[in-house]
Amino acid sequence: MSLKVYNTMTNTKEEFTPLEPNKVRMYVCGPTVYDKCHIGHARCYCAFDVICRYLEYSGYEVKYVENFTDVDDKIINKSLETGRDPFEIAEQCIAEYYRDMDRLNVKRADIYPRATDHITDMINFVQELVEKGFAYVVEGDVYFSVEKSENYGKLSGVNVEQMKAGARIAVDERKRDPLDFALWKRAKEGEPKWESPWGEGRPGWHIECSTMSQKHLGETLDIHGGGQDLIFPHHENEIAQSEAYTGKTFVRYWLHNGFVTIREEKMSKSLGNIVSVEDLLQKYSPETLRYFLVSSHYRKPIDFSEGNIEEAGKAVKRLLNTVDLVKTCLQEDITGEDFSPDEYKKKFEQAMDDDFNTPEALSVLFELVRETNRRIEEKRINKKSLEEVLNMFLELGGVLGLFFERGIEGLSEELLAILINVREQARAQKLWDISDSIRDQLKERGIVLEDTQQGTRWKFSRK
């Protein structure tokens, strides 16, 4: 089965064929850096992290670009509210973004372009659109003329004539058409500004992504991604201005992730129900939050609630405990039958080839969990097969970003083995105070000991 992806442009699943064989150019709209990352951001970037991981697993060379919008109305408004420098706000939020995404095991993109580093490129882009007749200047502002764009609305399905009928011209009476959007904004007092052929000003939001994506990936992208809330107007406007500029197809496959609701309510500032990643990670482990985010299909809505995330915690605990059990068993003298996990790998790939169906892929991993646990319990698996199972768990779970590099602070596994041996000797001599002390101190470091007939086994504790 070949990889099929759901293309928002056609509203169908299509066989994935990149422009250049075995190479993928992927651009994902990054955050506007004016506040902390919230669960909606995490949903988007975990989703596209999985997509990138699976493309690489499938043998593609992926060039992944994700931008930072570091000049925008929201940042300026935050600056006016707080009295802080807008660039200082952006820098802090970018640092927090890296911190939060690193903790969620989101691999770094190849390039993180910032809008403020591409102002000259944006000015040149806008100037070209003006010269080609797709844009016009009004008192230092530059607008894109939507009526000059062929098939405007082809991504979102919006009806241009109906939108015109319902538009409020008074929003900006200088525009030729109420749907025309700003490419360059004349500077206002106290705002960041740059020199341009039309006077001092700053770029509009839509032109930023078109410029940065083409700068780093070329005129036609294989994949452009983002949240469903960006389909209109942001991505629609990106298409209009980009294809007017190049005369070529801008994007081959448009992928969009679903919304996050909070206890079945839309997440919004007005409702006061936005939950930051930072706050969530004070209560839940990164593994639990990551599992929750990838346990639903990326295109489907996902509801955040205490109950749902607690269920995710239980599920990831089962998965990771089996991995730890296999690691422990490999340290023991075991004999048993051959067991090949290859059929599970095929089923996992079939699920992921179906538009990155992570719920189905997870169900395959849990089938392997059950079979592995049963064979270990019945002593029906040998060491070679256990090694194959472990490698497969790490490989397939790694595609979903679920197996974190987990270390023991200040404690090597060799030293841990020595402490377990000392504790076993203390237990044999009925020195319970010593054995209990070792157990309790290890528990404080996140290590849980389990005494079995085969000896003492250890695992990481889970939140």
Say whether both 252 and 391 belong to one domain: no
Beta bridge partners of 458: 449
Check residue 407 and give its pLDDT: 52
DSSP 270-317: TTT---BHHHHHHHS-HHHHHHHHHSS-TTS-EEE-HHHHHHHHHHHH
Q: Is residue 272 part of a domain?
A: no
Do 253 and 12 meet the contact criterion of CB atoms below 8 Å apart?
no
Question: What's the distance, CA 160 to chain centroid?
Answer: 32
Q: What is the DSSP letter of 354?
A: B
Q: Is the peptide bond before 233 cis (omega within 30 degrees of 0)?
A: yes
Alpha-carbon span 225 to 16, nearest angstrom: 15
Do 324 and 373 meet the contact criterion of CB atoms below 8 Å apart?
no
Q: Is residue 141 part of a domain?
A: yes
Tell me what the pLDDT averaged over the chain comes to: 92
Q: Is residue 326 part of a domain?
A: yes
Q: 3-state class of 17 per DSSP?
A: coil
Say whether both 184 and 245 belong to one domain: yes
Say whether both 326 and 247 belong to one domain: no
Say whether both 194 and 327 belong to one domain: no
Alpha-carbon span 144 to 125, nearest angstrom: 12
Q: Is residue 48 part of a domain?
A: yes
Question: What is the count of structural domains for the chain?
Answer: 3
Alpha-carbon span 47 to 357, nearest angstrom: 11
Q: What is the DSSP letter of 319?
A: H
Residue type, 454: Q
By CB atoms closer than 10 A (0-12, 13-18, 19+), residue 407 is: exposed
Q: Is residue 434 part of a domain?
A: yes
What is the domain range of residue 440?
413-460
Report which of 54, 112, 105 is spatially closest to residue 360, judged by C-alpha positions. Answer: 54
CB neighbours (10 Å) of residue 436? Answer: 13
Do 133 and 144 meet the contact criterion of CB atoms below 8 Å apart?
no
Question: DSSP E strands: which ranges in 77-165?
Answer: 135-138, 141-144
Do 186 and 137 meet the contact criterion of CB atoms below 8 Å apart?
no
Task: For residue 203, give the CATH number of its domain.
Answer: 3.40.50.620
Residues 30-87 have pLDDT tens digits of 999 999 999 999 999 999 999 999 999 999 999 999 999 999 999 999 999 999 999 9
Say whether both 71 and 175 belong to one domain: yes
CB neighbours (10 Å) of residue 89? Answer: 20
Q: Is residue 127 part of a domain?
A: yes
Say whether both 310 and 342 belong to one domain: yes
The residue among 399, 426, 448 that closes a domain is 399
Say whether both 24 and 91 belong to one domain: yes
Alpha-carbon span 356 to 351, nearest angstrom: 7
Task: For residue 356, give the CATH number of its domain.
Answer: 1.20.120.640
CB neighbours (10 Å) of residue 22? Answer: 9
Check residue 349 and give its pLDDT: 98
Report which of 280, 36, 256 is spatially closest to residue 291, judged by C-alpha positions. Answer: 280
Q: Which residue, chain included where needed, has tokens 């994506």?
A: 213
Alpha-carbon span 436 to 445, nearest angstrom: 14
Beta bridge partners of 290: none
Residues 371-419 have pLDDT tens digits of 999 999 999 999 999 999 999 999 999 999 997 655 555 566 678 888 9
Say whether both 440 and 342 belong to one domain: no
The residue among 257, 273, 295 that closes a domain is 257
Say whether both 233 and 369 belong to one domain: no
Q: Is residue 407 part of a domain?
A: no
Q: Kind and range of the H or E element at 161?
A: helix 160-166
Say whether both 49 and 76 belong to one domain: yes
Say whether both 235 and 381 belong to one domain: no
Q: Which residue, chain included where needed, has tokens 């802080």?
A: 84
Please say whether the dihedral angle defined by the alpha carbons of residues 386, 388, 391 and 395, taken in this order, is positive or negative: negative
The residue among 225, 241, 257 that closes a domain is 257
Q: Is residue 266 part of a domain?
A: no
For helices 306-329 and 383-399, the axis angle rounded to 10 degrees is 150
Ranges in the chain, pLDDT < 70:
1, 164-172, 270, 404-413, 453-454, 460-463
Say whether both 234 and 352 belong to one domain: no
Check residue 170 and give its pLDDT: 45
Check residue 375 and give its pLDDT: 95
